Amino acid sequence: MKVTLLVPTLNEIDGMKTVMPHIKPEWVDQILIVDGQSKDGTAEYARAQGYDVVIQKKKGMRHAYMEAWPHVKGDVVLTFSPDGNSIPELIPACIAKMKEGYDMVIISRYAEGAKSYDDDAITGFGNWLFTTTINLLHGGHYTDAMVIYRAYRKDLIAELGLDKDSSYEFEERLFGTNVSWEPLLSVRCAKRKLKYTDIPGDEPAREGGERKLQVLRWGAAYMFEVLREVFVWKQR
């Protein structure tokens, strides 16, 4: 099993310098940075460390993933936030769990023994609401359906239709935003009854940079996705 650590960045130089040195090269087979045209030297720093770097052309997290996908060398992708929210030392445990035969392993902020130190009242409630709704409507057993920090089979994205613009375009136009694919990945894994699990992992407060959440627009778009999926995407 080969693992690509996929790291989306946008003006994250502080976090990159603080967090990335904790990642040991032997943990993964590739470190791939997809940078959203940072102005603070993030991409230049990443290249200087020997990481593979892709410069994103279209805005939004799911475009970052889609543009990085042809450059992914691993058969397992582990998405990681370099802003301090993702604890690097959990990478080996996540990979070890994947080797047990799981399709996806989530590092959960809300599993027993874990806590988010970055949540506020709104984001904490929102994450609970989305996770609970996905579990109720789609038969999931998640404790954290929204988090970026997770590993999954690379070919899962094509299998679940997440590589298609049509899976996201309507809600993006409707709510004037660009979404990520983690919520839809969680929904469709549950609907397909794939093998997934979580391990507990704290979410520390971010290291520098600016929080990029669009709470109202993303919340509306993601809830639309979760409800729409009851009717429009059929498990095979």
| CA dist list (Å): 2 to 115, 152, 177, 205 | 29, 12, 33, 30
Q: Model-level pTM greater than 0.85?
A: yes
Which segments of 36-114 are extended strands (E)? 52-55, 76-79, 104-108
Measured N-to-C along each axis, helices 182-192 and 215-232 cross at an angle, to the nearest 10 degrees, of 20
Fold of 3-232: Spore Coat Polysaccharide Biosynthesis Protein SpsA; Chain A (3.90.550)
Phi, psi of 119 (to 5 degrees): -65, 145
DSSP 8-state symbol, 206 = P
The SS3 assignment for 176 reads coil
Q: Which of 160, 179, 1 is nearest to 73 (CA)?
A: 1
In angstroms, the first-to-last Cα distance of the chain is 26
User: What's the rounded Cα separation, in Å, for the pair 190 and 171?
Assistant: 21
pLDDT per residue, tens digit, the chain (236 aa), is 999 999 999 999 999 999 999 999 999 999 999 999 999 999 999 999 999 999 999 998 999 999 999 999 999 999 999 998 999 999 999 999 999 999 999 999 999 999 999 888 888 999 999 999 999 999 999 999 999 999 999 999 999 999 999 999 999 999 989 999 999 999 999 999 999 999 999 999 887 655 555 678 888 899 999 999 998 755 54
